[in-house]
Each structure stands twice: as structure tokens, then as C-alpha cells.
Amino acid sequence: MMHISATVDGVHRMGEVEPRLLLVHWLRENLGQTGTPVGCDTSNCGACTVLVNGRSVKSCSVLAVQIDGKSITTIQGVAEGETWHPVQSAFKECHGLQCGYCTPGMVMAAIDLLSENPNPTETEIREGLEGNLCRCTGYHNIVKAVAMAAAEMGASS
């Protein structure tokens, strides 16, 4: 077992973990942070995407021991109190989710995309979210939501 400590959604967390434990399983099973779901076992679907030190990673492709000393943001930590993140608001406004299973990863990937490219074209949004699969929406409203969030965030910054 190895000792790790990390900040998860603003809270300092520690634990003894098996070296093989994946970050997503540490979040879900050890910390009870079940907002981040698991959708596949080949790192294709992106449902488990979180931010590590502000950059998006698929938490099924990172070992828990690799995030020792780092800061993790999950879907459960993006709103500030009662204030939704603009990406969350835009997903609701544009009906960018149906079953909601891909949504945590999609929102986190979109946040990272917009931090890199605050004013993406439709093609850039589509290519930027290529690593996150959705089976319900056909992506149409997800793309709209990310464009709306970009406009909102641009207007408010």
C-alpha cells in the first residue's frame, strides 16, 4: 500500500492505496465521490474525465498514486456554492444531456477545452470533445452548449 494525499474539489484528502488502484476508483470507492462515473475499460469513452491541476484527464487512465500532491476537480466541485459553472448552465439551457451518464466527463472536457481555446469554432469544439462519447444527444446540443458557454464566459471576463 502507498500513502497519497491530494486536494479533491477543494478538500484535502489522504489515503493508503494499492499501487494498481485507478484514480477513478479512488474517487468513487474510497472517497465516495460517485459523481464521476466509469463508462468503459479502454479509455475511449471519457465519462470519467476530471481535471488534475486544471487539465483534463481520463481518471481511468491515471493511477491514484500518480496524483499525490496534486489538485483534482470533479463534476462535484465545479459549481461555486449555488452558482453553476457557465458550462453546466449552458448544458441545461441547450438540452446538452439526456441520460446524463457522459455528462460529468463531457462538462469537464468542455471546461478544459474552453480554458485552452476560449472562442472555438464548431469544428474545434467537435474535435476538442472527440475523446468523450455520448450515446443520447447525437452531440448536436452538446456542441451548442459549449459554444454558448464560450460566449457567456467571454462576455463575463
Partner 1 sequence: MTATIETTGAVGRPIRRKEDERLLHGRTNWTDNIQLPGTLHMATLRSPMAHAKIAKIDITAALASEGVVHVYTGADFPELPGTTCVWPVTDDIVMSHMPAICSDEVRYVGDVVAIVLATDQNLAVDALQLIDIDYIPLGAVVDMEEALKEGSPLVHESAGTNRCYTAKMPCGDYAAAKAKADVVVTRRFINQRLIPNPMEPRAVVAAPMGMSDELTIWSSTQIPHVLRILLALTTGIPENHIRVVAPDVGGGFGAKLQINREEILTLVLAKKLGRPIKWTESRSEHFVSTHHGRDQIQDIEIAATKDGTILGMKVDLLADMGAYLQIITPGTPLLGMFMYSGIYKMEALDFTCTGVYTTKTPTDAYRGAGRPESTYAVERIVDELAAELGMEPMELRKKNWIKHEEFPYTQIAGLTYDTGNYEAATERAMEMFGYDALRVEQAARRAAGDPVQLGIGISTFTEMCGLAPSRTLGALKYVAGGWEHCTVRALPTGKIELITGTSPHGQGHETAWSQIASDIIGVPVEDIEVVHGDTGRAPYGMDTYGSRSLAVGGQAIKLAGERLVEKAKIIAAHQLEVSPDDVEFNAGTYSVKGDPEKSTTIQAVAFAAFTAHNLPEGVEPTLSGEATVDPLDFSYPHGTHLAAMEVDTETGKVTLRKYVAVDDCGIQVNPLIVEGQVHGGLAQGIAQAMFEGAVYDSDGNLLTASMADYLLPSSADLPSFDTDRTVTPSTTHPMGTKGIGEAGAIASTPAIINGIVDALRHLGVNDIAMPASPMTVWRTIQAAQSGGNA
Binds partner 1 by CB under 8 A, chosen from 10, 14, 40, 154: 40
The residues in 17-36 that bind partner 1, with binding defined as CB under 8 A, are 18, 20, 28-29, 32-36
Based on the shown chain and the rule CB under 8 A, indicate whether residue 2 belongs to the binding site for partner 1. no
Stretch that binds partner 1, among 51-59, 64-72, 89-97, 149-157 (CB under 8 A): 89-97
Q: Report, in Å, the least distance between residue 72 CB and partner 1.
A: 13
Residue given cell 457567456 in the structure block: 152
- Tell me the C-alpha distance between 91 and 99, whole Å: 13
What's the CA gap between 52 and 138, in Å, rounded? 28
Enclosing H/E stretch for 73: strand 71-73
Angle of CA points 92, 97, 98, to nearest 5°? 120
Q: Is 19 or 69 the residue whose CB approaches partner 1 more closely?
A: 19
d(CA 19, CA 38) in angstroms, rounded, equals 19
Site of interaction with partner 1 (CB under 8 A): 18, 20, 28-29, 32-42, 44-45, 47, 74-76, 79, 84, 88, 91-93, 95, 97-104, 107, 122, 125-127, 129-144
